[in-house]
Chains A and B, each alone.
Chain A
Amino acid sequence: MILASSVFEWLATSPWANAMNGPEWAFPVVQSLHFMGFALSIGTIAIVDLRLLGLAARKQTAAQLAADLAPWTRAGLAVMLITGFLMFSADAVRYRVNPSFQFKMTFLALALLFHFTLHRWATGARVAPLTARLAGGMSLALWTAVVGAGRMIAFV
């Protein structure tokens, strides 16, 4: 753990952390990009989830929607993860011990894992309707936990 904490201390003094802690506008601008990134990624994932649940875009199949939206989902995920890492670096030592942050990272890992494994399988293959619904519901629940915990970070 000594190694881990020195990594976080180093992160907090890294050039990009200094840039984040420099001008007043840096943090809100990166935060806004973070919001846009997750609206794009989670928003497009939610479209597929609602289709899996049989609630939206029923003229298309979940496979079609997932394939068509995948580049945008990935672009959104990239923006979200990069900006998230920048914000984390700006105050790494403090974020690391924030319970909401820890909760958020746990669920982010679960949500990403789920997205690229079972969720992908459930959208790609011809699965039973109940399985599709479970996958859509699970995905929505995981991403909801990530966003909810993210909002809590500032209040804990």
Chain B
Amino acid sequence: MTIVSVLEWIESTDLSTTIREGALPYPIIGGVHLLAIALFGGMVLATDLRLLGWAMVRQPVSDVVRQFRRWKQSGFVLVISSGLLLGWGEPLKLFRSPSFWIKMALLILVGVHALVFQNGVYRNPTRLDEALTPRAKLAAALSLILWAGLIVSGRLIAYDD
């Protein structure tokens, strides 16, 4: 069983056909994906900008990091699940899209980023209330770069034909 045959099976499912060929499902799921990017992406940006000392500087770092965590997690789940549905609709197209694979590589780097910086920055933000560490700033800068890369590569998927 090859990967392509699995993808062909996915594309033959009713759900995939409905997402791909229905008038409304694709734009609606795409709209949810975009809204989740605005909501979740905005919170990621706000957290990163706070860690860099560029925004919300009057508010304690720990408040910003802690209060947005749950929302970022919910947004992440929403982005991933709507993205999975979009992918379920046209798996063969994505398989052949270089931008899609760049986006997946960046997503893996997001996971690596979380593992590397979880303990030093995001899980123990109280220490950062006194002074922002170089490590926290590096975490924020890398997060912003990954974030921008995800948006660009995601948008480019539509042009990979």
Which residue on B lies nearest to A67, using beta carbons?
B58
Contact present for A47 and B43 (CB under 8 Å): yes
| A35-84 contacts to B (CB < 8 Å) | 35-36, 38-40, 42-47, 50, 56-60, 64-65, 68-69, 71-72
Binds A, one of B6-14, B33-41, B87-95, B104-112: B33-41
Give the interface SS of chain B, mostly helix, strand, loop or mixed: helix
* Interface-side segment among B120-128, B135-143, B148-156: B148-156
In the complex, what's the smallest C-beta–C-beta distance from B67 to chain A, in angstroms?
5
With a cutoff of 8 Å between Cβ atoms, the chain A residues found around residue B63 in the complex are: 57, 59-60
- Which of chain B's residues have a CB closer than 8 A to the CB of A43? 38-43, 45-46
Interface presence of B15 (CB below 8 A): no
- What's the interface size class on B, roughly? 35 or more
Once the chains are docked, how many angstroms separate the CA of A76 from the CA of B130? 29
User: Given the complex of chains A and B, what is the CA–CA distance between A154 and B35 in angstroms?
Assistant: 16
A28→B160 CA distance, assembly (Å): 11
Are B56 and A68 in contact (CB-based, < 8 A)? yes
CB distance from A65 to the nearest CB of B (A): 8
A148: B residues at CB distance < 8 A: 28, 31, 35
Q: A39-B38, A148-B31, A151-B34 are in contact. Are A68 and B59 (CB under 8 A)?
A: yes
Report whether over half of chain A's contact residues are helix, strand or loop; otherwise say mixed.
Answer: helix
Question: C-beta contact mask, B51-81 vs A, less than 8 Å → 1, else 0?
Answer: 0000111110001100110010000000000
Residue on B with the closest CB to A34? B155
Query: How far is A148 from B58 in the complex, measured between Cα atoms in Å?
Result: 34
Interface magnitude class on chain A: 35 or more
Contacts beyond the supplied A24-B159, A68-B56, A143-B38: 4 A-B pairs with Cβ under 8 Å: A39-B38, A47-B43, A57-B67, A72-B46
- Using a CB–CB cutoff of 8 Å, the interface residues on chain B facing chain A are 23, 26-28, 30-31, 34-35, 37-43, 45-46, 49, 55-59, 63-64, 67-68, 71, 148, 151-152, 155-156, 158-159
User: What are some 16 contacts across the A-B interface (CB < 8 A)?
Assistant: A32-B152, A32-B155, A32-B156, A35-B34, A36-B151, A42-B42, A43-B39, A46-B42, A59-B59, A59-B67, A60-B63, A64-B58, A69-B46, A147-B31, A148-B31, A152-B27
